[in-house]
Amino acid sequence: MVYQTLKSFLIPILTILFRPKVTGLRHVPQNGPVIIASNHLSFSDSIFMPLVVPRKVTFLAKSEYFTSPGVKGFAKKKTFEALGQVPVDRSGGRRSEAALNTGLELLAEGSCIGIYPEGTRSPDGRLYKGRTGIARLAIESGAAVVPVAMFNTAEIQPTGQVIPKVTRVEMVFGEPMYFSGDSTDLQHLRAVTDEIMDAIHELSGQEYVDMYASEAKAIIADAARERIKQELRAKKAAKKKPESK
C-alpha cells in the first residue's frame, strides 16, 4: 500500500521534471517471477526504473541503508522501505548466501526483483564485470531475466550529490532471457552472467571492462591517495627549499 501510494505521488512529479523516455517496457512479463538486471550509474536508478515498471520492483539493498543512526538514518530507512527495498547483508560468505536465499524466496512468490549485476555503481560510466549471484537466481528460480540500460542518471545525481540535476532520463528494456543448467557449476554461472552482461552492454553501448566495479573503485581510490601524498611531499619540499639571494 505504501509503495503504491508513494509511486502514485512521485510519477507525475518525475514525469514532468525528467521526461523519462522508455523503450521496450512490453518485455517485462506481467506476472510470474522476473529479475530486472540493470546497469548501475547512480542511486537514482533505483527510483526511476521502478516508477516506469507497472509491477512492484523489489531491490535487495545493502543492509547499511537501513541501519544508519539518527533522524537522517531513520528517514533513509523509511524511504527505502517505502520504495519496496529489502535489506540484505552482501558482505560475502554466508551473508551473501543469505541474500541469495532472500531473492529466491521472493521469486518463488512470483515477485519482480531488481538487481545490479555489477554489484555497485560504476565509478566512471563504463560497464563492469557481473557478479554470478544473478545467474544462480535465474537458474534456480526459472525466472525471466530482463536486461535494462539506464541513461543520464549519473548526470542527474552523481555520487555524493543530494539534490538532483533536472535532465531527461532514458531507459531501454531488452527481451526476457531464460536460463537452466547446473547452478553449482562455476563455469556455467560465469557463462550465464556474461550473457546477461552482454545483453546490457548491447542495450547501453557502454565501454565494457573485464573487471569488477569494486576493484576499479579501489584502484581509483588508491590513485587518489597516492596523488594527495605526492602533492603533500611537493609542498613540504617547496617549504624546505632555501630562498635564492
pLDDT tens readout for residues 125-167: 999 999 999 999 999 999 999 999 999 999 998 777 778 888 9
What mean pLDDT is predicted for residues 207-220?
94
| Residue whose C-alpha cell is 502514485 | 8
- For domain 2-211, the question of CATH label 3.90.1150.10 is answered with no
Output the DSSP codes for the chain: -HHHHHHHHHHHHHHHHH--EEE-GGGS-SSS-EEEEE----TTHHHHHHHHSSS-EEEEEEGGGG---HHHHHHHHHHHHHTT-EEE--SSTHHHHHHHHHHHHHHHTT-EEEE-TTSS--SSS-EEPPPTHHHHHHHHH--EEEEEEEESHHHHS-TT--SPP----EEEE---B---S-TT-HHHHHHHHHHHHHHHHHHH-PPEESS-HHHHHHHHHHHHHHHHHHHHHHHHHHHHSPPP-
Distance CA 178, CA 26 (A): 16
* 175 grid coordinates: 527481451
Q: Specify burial of residue 20 (Cβ count, 10 A radius: 0-12, 13-18, 19+).
A: middle
23 DSSP β-pair partners = 172
What percentage of the chain exceeds 90 in pLDDT? 56
Q: What is the pLDDT of residues 100-130, one digit of tens each?
A: 888 999 999 999 999 999 988 999 999 999 9
* 154 grid coordinates: 549519473
* 168 grid coordinates: 531527461
Distance CA 48, CA 244 (A): 61
Q: What is the pLDDT of residues 36-55, one digit of tens each?
A: 999 999 988 988 999 899 99
pTM of the model: 0.85
Q: What is the pLDDT of residues 6-31, one digit of tens each?
A: 788 888 888 899 999 999 999 999 99
* 86 grid coordinates: 529489502
The predicted pLDDT at position 144 comes to: 98
